[in-house]
Structure 1
Amino acid sequence: MLTRRHVLGTALAAAATAPFASAARAADDWRTQFPEIVFAVVPAENASGVTDRYAPFVEYLSKQLGVKVTLRIANDYAALIEGQRAGNIQVAYYGPASFARALVTGVKVTAFAIDVNNDGSKGYYSVFYVLADSPYKTVEDLKGKALGLVDPNSTSGYNMPLFALNKMGIDPKTFFSNVVLTGSHENAVIALSSGQVQAAANFWMAPGDSNLTRMLNKGMLKKPDGSPMKESDFRIVLKSDLIINDPTAYLDALPEDMKAAIRQAFFDSAAKAPEAFAKLSDGKNKPFAPTTNADYDDTIKLIKFVDNLKKKG
């Protein structure tokens, strides 16, 4: 027989546990809304190389977040920007200039994690490579020769090179015989090694840590006789000002608890999935660090400067 006291006690117990049940449901709400998260990157190397590099990290993210995380390799920087604008890409790994381009064109995204170099710094450089056995010792020696750039939204492969050349009083369209857009950092180096261009722009962090050294470590570059090329087969004739490192950004519209979970997964990755994290940079980077959109204000100024250069041209 139910008594008034029994009914009251049951009601009080239910009321006491309700907040916890509600909190548990709320914690799962974003997973119901987003049973799959798309994480997109632009390939600095060939597509299979990107898949090999990122697959263990994406697997870690899936386990950590409790939903399927799908790696999408964007065709180029513009595809990455437009994918986030459309809401089809929840998390994206940008270059600084492409992220700045996303911001100035109204894409609602927030940078939350930045790469950290092995020495603790958070920047890298754009360099111009030539072949070491070539006669070119300076940029001035390249007058009338072909230059390989990467992509209009690449920081080290396009925007910073144009900025650096402008500081030297050099107009690429009249100084070089041809300016070739190669589409990727790897393609730029391949164009140089095969003689299609006499200089190529690329990213460089430190001796032994660059796109070039990654390609060499994979045996991608060969001499005409078939022997493997070495770092000493290339010479740097131009090194830019420091560029802030690459950001990872998520959509502003994502639920706050979802964004918190993504941030935590990235910041925990070096400790919880050391092998997967190390593979992202061939073991060169320290754990991700927090960043904000404001950290890329100087990059926004850079791309606006380059835009004005192109308008004048």
Structure 2
Amino acid sequence: MSPGATVLEAPQDMSHALRMYPGALGYTSLRDALELEPDVRVLRLDGVYPDPEAVRTGRYRLARPVIFAVRAEPLSTPRRFLDFLKTQAAQEVADTRGLVPVRRELRVGVPPMRNIVALETKYGGLARFLQSRLGLPVDLVHQASYTDLTEAFRTGQVDAAFAGSFAYLVAHVETGAEVLARPDYGGISRYRGVIYVRADSPFRSLEDLKGRRVAHSGQTTTAGQIFPMYALKRRGLGTPETFFAAFEDAGSHEAALRRLLGGEVDAAAAKDLVWREMVREDPSLEGRLRELAASEPVPSNGFVAGPTVSPSLRRQIRTLLLSMHESPQGKKALIDLGADRFLPTADEDYAALYEMVQALSAELAGYFQYR
């Protein structure tokens, strides 16, 4: 603190000083700041005005929580008070007193897949499990694409999400999002980006695909686009747009693979896990495709907490995910997910992807606009 700063004892003293002394600079509560306008100008922080929604979503970063400290095993009266604080009535009281009510639910984004019914079936059990343990509503939000996660976090559309590796990396760099855990599918919790060709094709290397048609997932994903871009650049072959005759948007990993199977394209860039699942569902596909090039493994869709999730809530969610295989309700939710359990996951697990992104820094600069 500057030696010339004046320390004031009460919020009303700050309000008085800001009104009375031209050029004074200070900080006060959100309610007092908004009531001081237009006599006092409220400053933006990083271009963000401090309205309640900006504070609630974390876009306005200068904020502090109101914390209640109790014994580890509170008596009945404090416990009833804590229960009351979680109610809608308590949030409305906080709102009238100039406080920003806490999020009344946890909104979890789920990735675009086959259809909404399938997504509800797959993730609904997890939402109910978290809701029963956290004591707050958990709502599923269907994301329109793999790449809108950063904006969804930034605008408060979602608080947490299942995120592909590249979507997580961008959200981590841009918003401070943190990966908490990832599902383990029968011992498989990571995937590779693979460029597939038909088993009977003459292609034996990436160089053989010059001037050929290649399908991809239609999103900026690690397997669908990042790895093909990296593989070509590493070999000095240029970009997918200049090296291939066409780098075609198929809309999903599965659609890209089916276009390859149908002879519509010469190769497809997709997740190896998607191809494995297709073969599992239809064994007649076994052996019809082969790998031409593959990336190092990266974590499969991880559960990522955005900036609106407090550190304490992040710890709660991580603990619940890592132990959910130990309870009957948790086991049922995991069966719906097709997973055995959740595994600890950290930013360091994405080292292979960071290497690819660093090599493609110029090509991917548009995804990193804020840091």
TM range (shorter): 0.7 to 0.9
Structure 1 residue 303 corresponds to structure 2 residue 357 = yes
Question: For residues 99 and 29 of structure 1, do their structure 2 counterparts lie closer, same or farther at Cα, with a shift above 3 Å needed?
Answer: farther
* Superposed CA offset, 1:235-277 (max 9, x none): 1111222324432111233344433332222112222222321
**Structure 2: where are the runs of 5+ without partners?**
1-69, 89-101, 366-371
**Equivalent residue for 2:343?**
289
Structure 1 residue 246 corresponds to structure 2 residue 297 = no
Give SS of 1:201's match: strand
Distance 1:155 1:56 in 2: 28
Distance 1:18 1:175 in 2: 65
**Equivalent residue for 2:134?**
65
Checking the alignment, whether the CA contact within 8 Å between 1:96 and 1:245 is kept in structure 2 is: yes
**Equivalent residue for 1:162?**
229
Structure 1 residue 259 corresponds to structure 2 residue 296 = no
**Structure 1: where are the runs of 5+ without partners?**
1-14, 205-209, 220-227
Distance 1:17 1:94 in 2: 35
Provide the TM-score with structure 1 as the length reference. 0.76
Structure 1 residue 197 corresponds to structure 2 residue 251 = no
Structure 1 residue 274 corresponds to structure 2 residue 328 = no
Structure 1 residue 50 corresponds to structure 2 residue 105 = no
**Equivalent residue for 2:78?**
22
**Equivalent residue for 1:82?**
151
Checking the alignment, whether the CA contact within 8 Å between 1:188 and 1:201 is kept in structure 2 is: yes
1:214 to 277, 286, 299: 277
Question: For residues 16 and 96 of structure 1, do their structure 2 counterparts lie closer, same or farther at Cα, with a shift above 3 Å needed?
Answer: closer
Distance 1:17 1:159 in 2: 48
**Equivalent residue for 1:173?**
241
Give SS of 1:77's match: coil
Q: Which runs of 4+ in 1 moved over 6 A?
A: 15-18
Q: Cα RMSD between the aligned structures?
A: 3.1
Distance 1:294 1:115 in 2: 17
Checking the alignment, whether the CA contact within 8 Å between 1:30 and 1:255 is kept in structure 2 is: no
Q: Percent of counterpart pairs with the same letter?
A: 25
Checking the alignment, whether the CA contact within 8 Å between 2:112 and 2:146 is kept in structure 1 is: no
**Equivalent residue for 2:99?**
none
Checking the alignment, whether the CA contact within 8 Å between 2:160 and 2:309 is kept in structure 1 is: no
Quote the offset at 1:83 in angstroms.
Answer: 0.9
Distance 1:17 1:97 in 2: 40
Distance 1:112 1:127 in 2: 26
Give SS of 1:85's match: helix
Q: Larger strand proportion, structure 1 or 2? A: 1
Q: Larger helix proportion, structure 1 or 2? A: 1
Give SS of 1:130's match: strand
Checking the alignment, whether the CA contact within 8 Å between 1:45 and 1:184 is kept in structure 2 is: no
Distance 2:353 2:72 in 1: 50
* Superposed CA offset, 1:163-214 (max 9, x none): 122222222223211001223212222222233322111122xxxxx21232
Quote the offset at 1:99 in angstroms.
Answer: 1.0
* Superposed CA offset, 1:51-91 (max 9, x none): 33222322322333333322222111232221111122111
